Amino acid sequence: MHKSNYSNPLQKQCLSLPDLCDDQIRGSVDGVMNAIPVEVMQKIRKIILTGCGDSYMAAHAVIPAFKKYARIFGTEFEAMRCIDVSRCLYLDDQNASATLVVAISASGAPARISEALLRAKHFGAHTMAVTNNPESGAGKSAEYVLFVGTPDFPDPNPGLRNYYASLVSLMLFAARLGEVKGISPLRSVNALSQQIREYTRSFSAALPDMDESMFRLAQHWQCFDGFDMLGDDTDHSTASFIAAKFVEVSGVMCAVCDMENWCHVEFFKSNPTETGTVIVCRSRGADLSRVKETIHQAQCIGRPILLITDSDEDFALSTSSSLCKIPSPPPGFEFLAPILNYVPGALLASYYSALNEIAYFRGGGVWAEANTIRTSRIVNA
């Protein structure tokens, strides 16, 4: 069985990330610098980040970057589901003008994204679309646009490069916000760009092995009909992203959970030996002891595990479990992990799809026609 026969768009996107890095940073920095006037940025005290599907996960994953660069007393950074922003958000006059609502959408096309931006505007908040298409609905609905400038790719779906672009752009935006508000040192954007470059480069050496081992694991897991993705905090965003890629490229159903609740609930799923269990954790994660306990609990019932981590700790993995060791983010920049730690999971998803010969997004037809992402009615605030 030759890996090359199963090469596929998602896998190619994964492997393209190191090459994308420089272009993307250039695009993002350019976008960040031109997005919002300095005097507006200086007034921002609260940021609400939103997005649909995996963009919501991006919103969640960049919060630590905002806290690192731009947090002082009285600031607040929060990820909110797009449906909640578009239908349930309320801001009073006093707070609205210091609030920035950021909607993330590479295509800028979903109805809900435009609706969220319009609602935020209605309450007097500043709004920004993070998009690769300034002419889109999102671009037109927002007061400001952070144009991420991601270069084209032959097979761009499902949008893995876009996810990378959103994360990189938002983290750089956080650094920029810290700079202009005087909370972080000048040149923080440059310093962060350098770290992103290094972290991404460190993956480039590790990618061939990762690609190989995920191809092998996909063969073992090929017949599984359900997966659990586990992670805490921003690793939960990564776990969710991996789950979303699995669904998009293969249609297999995945549950996403944090370590603790998994031990209480998802643990009890039937067919434990045929339920692939992907765990994402970090060497500096405060949940390490719980991760080990969770692995133990899962292995006791015969769950096959893929552990994605940069940690050297002994997790007492059994023979039916696999470890995918990934590079560590640069010290002091642990918050960068979500820009890349999904890669092994995404590779696994891509091969699972390829080996089972399943069409991405179920191959159009009714699947394309029945979906209402773009056609959903926009409700005015």
Partner 1 sequence: MFDQNNPKDNPLCNQVFSLPGMIEEQVRICFSQEQLENILPIQDCFDIRKIILTGCGDSLAAAGNMVPVLTEFCDVMSCRAIDPITFTRFMEKTDIGIGEPNSPLVLSISAGGETARVLEVLKKASELGAFPLVITGNPESSCANAAKKAFIMKTPKMQNDFPGLRSYLANMVGIVAIAARLGLVRGVLEPETPEMWSQSVIDYVKSYAPHLESISDAMFHLAEKWKSFTRFDFIADCVSSNSALFAQEKFYEVTGSLGCAGDSEDFCHINYFVRDPETVGTVFFAYRDQPTYSRIKETIRSCVTLGRPVLVITDEEDDFGDGVTRVVIPKTPEGYTWLRPLMDFCPVALLAGYISELGERRYFHSFFPHTYERDPESLFFAPGTLTLKESKIEYIL
**Binding residues vs partner 1 (CB under 8 A):** 52-54, 56, 71, 73, 81-84, 86-88, 110, 112, 225-226, 232-233, 243-244, 247-248, 250-256, 258-261, 263-272, 275, 285-287, 289-290, 293-294, 296-297, 300-302, 358, 361-362, 366-367, 369-373, 376-377, 379
51 vs 139, beta carbon nearer partner 1: 51
Alpha-carbon distance of 143 to 269, in angstroms, equals 46
Alpha carbons 106 and 5: distance in angstroms, whole number: 30
Choice between 172 and 243, CB closer to partner 1: 243
CB of 224 to partner 1, least distance (A): 11
In the complex with partner 1, the residue whose CB is nearer, 57 or 172, is: 57
List, in order, residues 6 or more apart from 114 with CB less than 8 Å away: 137, 138, 140, 141, 378
Q: Kindly tell me which of 21 and 125 has the beta carbon lying closer to partner 1.
A: 125
Q: What secondary structure letter does DSSP report for 367?
A: H
Distances (CA, A) of 143 to 8, 39, 81, 121, 319: 38, 15, 20, 8, 54
In order of 106, 228, 286, 326, the CA distances from 290 in angstroms are: 35, 17, 9, 20
State the minimum distance, in angstroms, from the CB of residue 268 to partner 1: 5
Please, which residue, 16 or 95, has the CB nearer to partner 1?
Answer: 95
The answer to whether the beta carbons of residues 241 and 163 sit under 8 Å apart is yes
Nearest-approach distance from CB 25 to partner 1, in angstroms: 27
Q: How far is the CB of 260 from partner 1 (least distance, A)?
A: 4
Beta carbons within 10 angstroms of residue 128's beta carbon: 25
The nearest distance, CB 160 to partner 1, in angstroms, is 14
The nearer residue to partner 1, 275 or 322, going by C-beta atoms, is 275
DSSP letter assigned to residue 313? S
Nearer to partner 1, 1 or 286 (CB): 286
* Residue 365, Ramachandran bin (φ over 0: left; ψ between -120 and 50: alpha; else beta): left
CB of 5 to partner 1, least distance (A): 22
Min. distance of Cβ 126 from partner 1 in angstroms? 22
Provide the edge-to-edge strand list for the sheet that holds 322-325: 254-257, 227-230, 276-281, 305-309, 322-325
Strands 227-230 and 126-131: unpaired
